[in-house]
Structure 1
């Protein structure tokens, strides 16, 4: 991924294929990252919106995800990372300065938990701007 990215670019956005973006989301995420040079990366958080007539299982998933909304939304800095939206510095991934690419290559449970773990271990700041809410139907 990082090796194929255009080296002129500064950021890589990892985004789930079912995430609906607001028209200015990418610009807003980059602006937030660049406005806070102490942050390593920017993430967002999902907000489940069940369709009318949704099944009980859908509502069970919603209840399961609700605690995540609290963790992500109470402040701009977080220790949580949502893999559905991760804006990461391209130069760091290319050089693997923090070992994220190596960790991803070793497999494991989850791309976002891997990034959160590396950030926690190395003291890297994770920014979660209040505008980075992504409805999921």
Structure 2
């Protein structure tokens, strides 16, 4: 989570783990297990929390070898949407700064831009001849130059 309060990790069995940072005066960092999601029926290749600007909705996105992307509501860890459209493994994803959009990268040689509230792919980027394994989205505030 953007404020350091949550940490997520996933494995090749389709399970995503969520921990809460335990506040204290200790020099060691301690985490409290918060939730365990059986998110996919294959490898989870990316798990990503939405940015801080997404309030009041906070999301967790998981991408998988099962060709899907799942969007989870962090409040209660309920499944909000399953994004379907890629034909092969979905390797990576990135949220827009406001959390309204998600871009995904897949072995099917496409990247897709999804509208979170509808779950629709509003744009498919084609032209690569090999798998796309990472992506980024720059839609933030303009940077100031000195």
> Is this a same-fold pair by TM over 0.5?
no
More strand per residue: 2
TM-score category, normalised to shorter length = under 0.3
Higher relative contact order (CA 8 A, sep 6+): 1
More helix per residue: 1
